Amino acid sequence: MASLSGQPGSGRVRFATDGARAVTAEMLSEQPRRDLVKGTIFFALLLLALTVALVGLAAIIIQAAVNGAPAISPTLFTNGPSTINPSEAGFRPALIGTIYLILGVIVLVVPLGVGAAVYLEEYGDREKWWNRTIELNVQNLAGVPSIIYGILGLAFIVRGPLDLGFILAAGSLTLALLVLPTVILAAREAIRAVPPSIREGSLALGATQWQTIRRQVLPAAIPGVVTGVILAISRAIGETAPLLLVGAATFVTFNPTFLGDNGYSALPVLIFNYASRPQDEFRVLASAGVVVMLVVLLAMNSFAIWLRNRYEQQW
Amino acid sequence: MSNSIPGNPVGEGQLERKDEQGEERGLSQGIVVPEHGAGPGVDPWAGEMVFELRDVTVSYGGQPAVKDVSMDIPRNEITALIGPSGCGKSTLLRCLNRMNDLIPSAEVEGEIDYHGQDLYGPKVDPVQVRKMIGMVFQKPNPFPKSIFDNIAFGPRVLGLGDVDDRVQAALKGAALWDEVKDRLDDNAYGMSGGQQQRLCIARTMAVDPEVILMDEPCSALDPISTGKIEDLMLELKENFSIVIVTHNMQQAARVSDKTAFLIVRLDAAETARWGELVEYDVTERIFTNPADSRTEDYVTGKVG
């Protein structure tokens, strides 16, 4: 700069500097008004989208809690349903039924879902048409309406080849089939997120492919798999339609077992039953049932989130 | 050693390093190759060979990546592969322990003998090959586990005994023991990049391989960490044979006994490109008196 005019601080240099500063100040001063308006509108739309989602959720929870408030008491968890004495009625058999159903779903869906995902990600050659067909179908299955799974369960699990009858295990199997695609997709994402360098490092030590998957890839994929299972459980716990087809009776007064053939129930089924009765007491009970179901769901999800955080991994 | 103090600028300038004896390696005045290997008067090719490559061509999906490489890699020495990007040096390296098998479209022609056994013979199990020929990668890739478990993983899956002793020996061998002995249960991701790379070297050593392949092991590291790894390599060649791919010519000159120079060739239509071995010789000769003018142009910085 100084070499331009010979002496620093001379008139020409000072003018040039002042000019540059003025232009820069002008450029930095303010956004054009149109950009500002557009930005604000976009931000407002984002807030609106968030609010609609949250308000909907809050409305359901608040309404269920307010309407069900008169019936909420520990007896909801300990008493069986009753048509004669609604003030004493509870959800115990349905609650136990739901817990059994979900436990059955977890036991079935984790090995099947992770196994399928490991095959597709680690072994299946994507060039081959059959692997691409499997992939495409898994994705499509995730969107099939649940009633179709109910019909499938009725035809192939309750009757047909498996012929289990209307037992709780049949309900678990049907729900497991329903949520299996979700778990496969989530487990695949989790396995794909494990960097290839981890596999290379393991293989370069002389570990076999199975040792690499079992001891490096799967442990690193646990958080993602657990997230998938949370989503799956959340869907399975609220399903009513397929259960009605595979034997979940609406009204069961005794505790169910996995293989017992004298009927079982589930929370959403019983809530549906209560809600469709004309008496006000049962409407209150139905709302209280929603609260019970939310509590169960929240407890299961909290456990899963705790599990996920324990194994959370940074790359 | 001036370059081992963290936070201290490297030695007396970017291109200079002092070695343990305080001997100056004035790389700024051109590349000086330190004296190592057999010494004067001894035939540098007289020793035992680990690998013998004969007309090796590696292709990806029918397109050759490196063509017709023939070279012998000696035991208990450091052999460097240098050359411009795309000359196939990493590809060649990954054939030596069959890591290329992981890429379905890769195909190897010619013969790679390991102690006289064809590595690509029909009865050879790549898993067994990798037990004897370990590999260190460009980017440090510790497992998402504790420092101890990183080293212990290899001995455990291979069913080698004395896991505790092996972990300690490997960490000492990689000059990492003093830095990590109090935090063996910490996650390896908490280490610095240079420490992570030395952990990866220790991990490889823990399963007692005969050869360690290194694919640009210092390209992600700062000069201080690079210096430590180079010192380590010079110690390791007592017990291991090392093949290293590097972009850093000073590094090849500093550590290696033999150097192979590869170039990129284009066909007349400039549609296909592949790598070819130009010259393979004692490192000193490659850097001071190469037989091929292309080697000279590359090592003196005229091209590449």
Q: How confident is the model at residue A164, as a pLDDT?
A: 83
Q: How confident is the model at residue A306, as a pLDDT?
A: 86
Domain that holds residue A95: 72-311
Q: Which two tokens stand for residue A287?
A: 């709302």
Query: Does the pLDDT value for residue A289 go beyond 50?
Result: yes
Nearest residue of B to residue A201, measured between CA atoms: B141
Nearest residue of A to residue B127, measured between CA atoms: A206
CA of A204 vs chain B CAs: smallest distance (Å)? 6
| Sequence spans of domains, chain B | 1-30, 47-299
Averaged over B36-64, what is the pLDDT? 82
Report pLDDT digits (tens) over B254-276. Answer: 999 999 999 998 888 878 889 99
Residue at A56 is within a domain? no
Interface touch B143/A202, C-beta < 8 Å: yes
Query: Does the pLDDT value for residue B155 go beyond 70?
Result: yes
Residue at A44 is within a domain? no
The per-residue b/e assignment along A159-196, b for 16 or more CB within 10 angstroms, e otherwise, is: eeeeebebbbbbbbbbbbbbbbbbbbbbbbbbbbebee
Residue at A116 is within a domain? yes
Interface touch A205/B157, C-beta < 8 Å: yes
Query: Does the pLDDT value for residue B5 go beyond 70?
Result: no
Q: How confident is the model at residue B151, as a pLDDT?
A: 94
Averaged over B44-71, what is the pLDDT? 91
Interface touch B200/A220, C-beta < 8 Å: no
Same domain, A112 and A22: no
What average pLDDT does the structure give for chain B?
A: 85
Interface touch B153/A205, C-beta < 8 Å: yes
Same domain, A170 and A299: yes
- Nearest CB neighbour to B200, from listed A199, A201, A216: A201
Same domain, A97 and A191: yes
Interface touch A205/B204, C-beta < 8 Å: yes
CA of B232 vs chain A CAs: smallest distance (Å)? 19
Q: Mutate which of A127, A197, A199, A205 to test chain B, going by most B C-beta atoms within 10 A?
A: A205
CATH domain B47-299 topology = Rossmann fold (3.40.50)
Label residue A314 by pLDDT band (50, 70, 90).
Answer: low
Averaged over A286-307, what is the pLDDT? 85
What average pLDDT does the structure give for chain A?
A: 86
Query: Does the pLDDT value for residue A41 go beyond 90?
Result: yes
Q: How confident is the model at residue A200, as a pLDDT?
A: 93
Residue at A278 is within a domain? yes
- CA B3 → CA A291, B177, B231, B237, distances in Å? 66, 19, 11, 21
**In this complex, is the C-beta atom of A125 within 8 Å of any C-beta atom belonging to chain B?**
yes
Averaged over A187-216, what is the pLDDT? 93
Averaged over B190-213, what is the pLDDT? 93
CA of B58 vs chain A CAs: smallest distance (Å)? 19
- Return the higher-pLDDT residue of B128 and B41: B128
In sequence order, what are the residues at sequence separation of 6 or more whose Cβ sits closer than 8 angstroms to the Cβ of residue A194? Answer: A216, A217, A220, A221
Report pLDDT digits (tens) over B177-189. Answer: 999 999 999 999 9
- Return the higher-pLDDT residue of A8 and B134: B134
Same domain, A83 and A157: yes
- Nearest CB neighbour to B102, from listed A195, A201, A203: A203
Interface touch B97/A216, C-beta < 8 Å: no
Query: Does the pLDDT value for residue A315 go beyond 90?
Result: no
Beta strands B117-118 and B106-114: pairing type? Answer: antiparallel
Label residue B10 by pLDDT band (50, 70, 90).
Answer: very low
Label residue A238 by pLDDT band (50, 70, 90).
Answer: confident
- Nearest CB neighbour to A208, from listed B127, B143, B207: B127
Chain B hits for A197, CB-CB cut-off 8 Å, are 137, 139, 141
Interface touch A215/B142, C-beta < 8 Å: no
Q: How confident is the model at residue A127, as a pLDDT?
A: 81
Chain A hits for B130, CB-CB cut-off 8 Å, are 203-206
Among A127-131, B106-110, B134-138, the minimum mean pLDDT is found in A127-131
Among A200-204, B31-35, B140-144, the minimum mean pLDDT is found in B31-35
Residue at A49 is within a domain? no
Query: Does the pLDDT value for residue A172 go beyond 80?
Result: yes
Same domain, A169 and A269: yes
- Nearest CB neighbour to B139, from listed A197, A203, A208: A197
Q: How confident is the model at residue A2, as a pLDDT?
A: 46
Interface touch B131/A200, C-beta < 8 Å: no
3-state secondary structure string, chain A?
A: CHHHHCCCCCHHHHHHHHHHHHHHHHHHHCCCHHHHHHHHHHHHHHHHHHHHHHHHHHHHHHHHHHHHHHHCCCHHHHCCCCCCCHHHCCCHHHHHHHHHHHHHHHHHHHHHHHHHHHHHHHHCCCCCHHHHHHHHHHHHHCCCCHHHHHHHHHHHHHCCCCCCCCCHHHHHHHHHHHHHHHHHHHHHHHHHCCCHHHHHHHHHCCCCHHHHHHHHHHHHHHHHHHHHHHHHHHHHHHCCHHHHHCCECCCCCCCCCCCCCCCECCHHHHHHHHHCCCCHHHHHHHHHHHHHHHHHHHHHHHHHHHHHHHHCCCC
Residue at A239 is within a domain? yes
pTM of the model: 0.79
Of B157, B155, B159, nearest to B168 by C-alpha is B155
Q: Which two tokens stand for residue A203?
A: 């293989």
- The ipTM of this complex is 0.82
Query: Does the pLDDT value for residue B9 go beyond 50?
Result: no
Query: Does the pLDDT value for residue B104 go beyond 90?
Result: no
CATH code: domain of residue A149: 1.10.3720.10
Same domain, A98 and A13: no
Query: Does the pLDDT value for residue A280 go beyond 60?
Result: yes
Same domain, A153 and A100: yes
Same domain, A159 and A258: yes
- Return the higher-pLDDT residue of A79 and A222: A222
Same domain, A25 and A97: no
Label residue B32 by pLDDT band (50, 70, 90).
Answer: low
- CA A265 → CA A147, B88, B167, B298, distances in Å? 17, 66, 56, 79
Contact, A95 vs A300, CB < 8 A? no
Residue at A58 is within a domain? no
Q: Mutate which of B103, B141, B205 to test chain A, going by most A C-beta atoms within 10 A?
A: B141
- Nearest CB neighbour to B104, from listed A125, A203, A315: A125
**Structural domains of chain A, count:** 2
Same domain, A90 and A234: yes
DSSP B146: B
Q: How confident is the model at residue B37, as a pLDDT?
A: 52
Interface touch A205/B134, C-beta < 8 Å: yes
Residue at A48 is within a domain? no
Query: Does the pLDDT value for residue B303 go beyond 80?
Result: no
Label residue A8 by pLDDT band (50, 70, 90).
Answer: low
Averaged over B22-48, what is the pLDDT? 60
B window 104-123, beta carbon within 8 A of A? 104
Percent of chain B at pLDDT > 90 equals: 62
Q: Mutate which of B127, B131, B160, B212 to test chain A, going by most A C-beta atoms within 10 A?
A: B127
User: d(Cα A275, Cα A283) in Å, to the nearest integer?
Assistant: 5
